[in-house]
Amino acid sequence: MEDAFKYAHEKEDEIIWMSQNTNELDTSPIINLKIIEAVKKRKYNLYPYQQGLLGLKELILKDLGIEENFDALITNGGIEAAYVLTRAMLDKRDNVIASDPSFLPIHRQVKLCDAEIKEIPVYKDPYRMTVEEINEQVDSNTKFILLIDPLNPLGTSYTREEVKGICEIAEDNDVWIIDDITYRDFAYEHTLTTDFVPERSVLVYSFSKNCGFAGMRLGALIMPNEISEEIHRWRANPLSANILAQVGAKAALETKSQWMDGMIKQSRKNQGIIKEAIEDIPGVHLPVYPSSTNMFVIDVEETGLSPEDIQSVLLEDHNIFVRAGNYVSKRFGEKFIRVSFTIPEPQVRKFASVFTEVIERMR
Ligand SMILES: Cc1ncc(COP(=O)(O)O)c(C=O)c1O
């Protein structure tokens, strides 16, 4: 299939979207009400305040418990936050330490700055970077450690001890940490690098996954006040981000305590349904379970089937859109597919019921 995304978007409403870790589970009806109210008042006629909708920045910092000493730049998604950061801080000779598999668009941003990306292979136990491996890779040109925690696509997260160890490396080598916390709310426990090295932590924050706002395109770059002025000079959009997204995001954070637990519970239930359905298929296994995110990797290497073919058959025959591994790993992409499960339970059950049959038929 030439363009799976075009195909899927043409049939948008019929598709079960398990391909991009988006989240369609219930949050709060108040979010919709606030957005509709803003539409009725035609708030979109005006530019938003450049620093973001009043109060939103404070809510983001409060969400992380870092109200003091930090600033948040509101961006069009976490991906723009990473873009601004790499543009502002990376020079030609710099390198960035990251994992493989990983969320590769950030690696591409690093390369755009003519900087080097040093990928640590993590498709092996413990399926995340170890403190020792990072230590071995750091050199005098290292500018950042890209810590995606929890990790897309594997679903691993770092223990407090590991985060502390990584922060110590950053401290000892005068290196910054990009703490990409896009999936933080899905983790069983999570430690921010700001707990140990607030002065060298820059956080990529997203509303896409936890709040189900992927189409809204809203996120933030969170940084120590000392570098805030310089980073703001590099903002990709000096006219702020979509006002409706910001109104919704504010409502989402204000109501988060009412819906987050229920949403996470359903997400965890969904991954259990899939595990149960696929664990006895010969040649198929889950390298990481339970996942600390809203996705996991299904290893299909021993079936001898190509992940891309599995993606195509699920999409064309069943309207189920999963992602072949090569989107998140050049080295290991032929071994797995990635599926996300923050979708309504009946859709999860449909995937669970057809996956075995698809694998057996293709074999
Ligand atoms: C690790 C990671 N960081 C950042 C992003 C970008 O998210 P956003 O939709 O906020 O741009 C994603 C999206 O999948 C991601 O997986």
Residue 200 pLDDT > 80: yes
Nearest-atom index, ligand 1, CA of 206: 10
pLDDT at site 347: 98
Of 253, 326, 322, 246, residue with least CA distance to 48: 246
pLDDT of amino acid 65: 97
Q: What is the mean pLDDT of residues 347-356?
A: 97
Q: How far is the CA of 281 from the centre of ligand 1 (A)?
A: 31
Residue partners of 180: CB distance under 8 A and separation at least 6 = 78, 82, 103, 106, 146, 147, 148, 149, 203, 204
CA distance 184 to 256: 14
Q: Which residues contact 315 (CB under 8 A, 6 or more apart)?
A: 1, 4, 7, 8, 15, 321, 322
29-255: in CATH 3.30.479.30: no
Q: Is the CB of 78 under 6 A from ligand 1?
A: yes
Q: Report, as an integer, the average pLDDT of 268-292.
A: 97
In this structure, the dihedral spanned by the alpha carbons of residues 141, 147, 153 and 158, taken in order and rounded to 10 degrees, is 130
Is the CB of residue 103 below 6 angstroms from any atom belonging to ligand 1? Answer: yes
* Test site for ligand 1: of 5, 79, 217, most ligand atoms within 8 A of the Cβ: 79
| End-to-end CA separation in angstroms for the chain | 19
Average pLDDT, rounded, for the chain: 97
CATH of region 4-27+256-362: 3.90.1150.10
Protein residue whose Cα sits closest to atom 7 of ligand 1:
78
Among the residues of 184-237, which ranges form H helices?
Answer: 225-233
Kindly state if the Cβ of 180 falls inside 6 Å of ligand 1: yes
Task: Show Cβ contacts of residue 343 under 8 Å, excluding neighbours closer than 6 positions.
Answer: 16, 17, 18, 24, 25, 270
Q: What does the pLDDT read at residue 84? A: 98
Over residues 206-250, the pLDDT tens digits come to 999 999 999 999 999 999 999 999 999 999 999 999 999 999 999
Q: What is the DSSP string of 189-200?
A: S---GGGT-GGG
Q: For the CA atoms of the chain, what is the radius of gyration? A: 20
pLDDT of residue 273 exceeding 80, the answer is: yes
Distance 155 CA to ligand 1 centre (A): 14
- How far is ligand 1, taken at its centre, from the CA of residue 301, in Å? 26
Q: What is the mean pLDDT of residues 148-164?
A: 98
Asked whether the predicted pLDDT for residue 1 surpasses 80, the reply is no
- Calculate how far, in angstroms, residue 23's C-alpha sits from the geometric centre of ligand 1: 12
Distance of CA 229 to the CA centre of its chain: 26
pLDDT tens digits for range 32-69: 999 999 999 999 999 999 999 999 999 999 999 999 99
Sequence spans of domains, the chain: 4-27+256-362, 29-255
